[in-house]
Amino acid sequence: MKKFGTKLAAVAFVLLAATPAFAGKGGSAAKINAAVASGSVDAIVAEVERAEALMCPECMPTMVSLLDDNRFAVREVAAWWFAKRPGAKDKLATTFKADLGKADSIGVRNAADFLGRVREFDALPQLRVAIARTDISAEAKLAIVRAVGYMAHIDGNSVLLTAMNDGDASVRAAAVGAWREILGQLDVKPLVAKLGDPDAQVRAAAATVLGVYGEPTARTMLEQLVVTDADPFVRRNAAYALGRIGSTESAVALRTATNDSSGIVRGFASAALASLR
């Protein structure tokens, strides 16, 4: 987005140029600029939050540039600031939605973070296209998944389903985790297959979410994992999930797991065993 920064700042300037400046909790453009110059994430976040109600055109170039920062916390607080200013937010969202289809990995990352943080639901079609791109990085795809999690809209499921089959394990795990963030999410069966993922992080995440929902169709695979999986976190999460599902048919596997080499697995297995109906 760097090449669009000046243009976007000019657009935002026009939107607010006619608005008188007023202070918000002691904030000012000068203080925001000083925080940026300090290089401290905490200082930047604090000053931007303090300027929540500050309507000043001179802030705009700096605030737009923060949307391009390499630090997520900075991009996030800048997007939050623009969410308070619908006119500027809508102008930026239009450009960012276009970026999802044509920008490089950094541009897609920044666009997804902005659109997710301001909950631009109209961007879900563009996010669906972007997650399938083969020319962007895992970091960019993680930002897309994060955006869908922020929006928590059921129409984001298709984005997450694509991400669950990505070649990067961190993207798959993030998509599994984001599945539970969707409001009104009822069907978790697509996650059952992720219990067989080659990456332990993905299997562990799937076990947790399936446990949260008490998905009975996952029981057989979870019983296998709690006893045989090489990763103790997967075994622990499988024990937790079996306890949440609560079937007495899981008793044999859980009793075996109470003798696990890992103390945390033994503890979760014992607790799950005690909770079976």
The C-alpha atoms of residue 222 and residue 226 are separated, in whole angstroms, by 6
Angle at 56 between CA 53 and CA 62, to 5 degrees: 100
Protein fold of 203-277 = Leucine-rich Repeat Variant (1.25.10)
What per-residue confidence (pLDDT) applies to 17? 47
Cβ pair 112, 140 in contact under 8 A? yes
For residue 155, pLDDT beyond 70: yes
Percentage with pLDDT > 90 across the chain:
86
Give the model's confidence band at 57: pLDDT under 50 very low, under 70 low, under 90 confident, else very high.
Answer: confident
3-state secondary structure the chain: CHHHHHHHHHHHHHHHCCCCCCCCCCCCHHHHHHHHHHCCHHHHHHHHHHCCCCCCHHHHHHHHHHCCCCCHHHHHHHHHHHHCCHHHHHHHHHHHHHHHHHCCHHHHHHHHHHHHHCCCHHHHHHHHHHHCCCCCCHHHHHHHHHHHHHHCCHHHHHHHHHHCCCCCHHHHHHHHHHHCCCCCCCCCHHHHHHHHCCCHHHHHHHHHHHHHHCCHHHHHHHHHHHHHCCCHHHHHHHHHHHHHHCCHHHHHHHHHHCCCCCHHHHHHHHHHHHHCC
For 187-234, the pLDDT digits (tens) are 999 999 999 999 999 999 999 999 999 999 999 999 999 999 999 999
What per-residue confidence (pLDDT) applies to 186? 83
> Could you tell me the two tokens for 12?
């935002």
Mean of the pLDDT values across residues 250-275? 97
Mean of the pLDDT values across residues 39-45? 97
What per-residue confidence (pLDDT) applies to 9? 53
Q: What is the rounded average pLDDT for all residues in the chain?
A: 92
Q: Where along the chain do its domains lie?
A: 203-277
Give the model's confidence band at 18: pLDDT under 50 very low, under 70 low, under 90 confident, else very high.
Answer: very low
Mean of the pLDDT values across residues 151-179? 97
What per-residue confidence (pLDDT) applies to 12? 53
Cβ pair 232, 220 in contact under 8 A? no
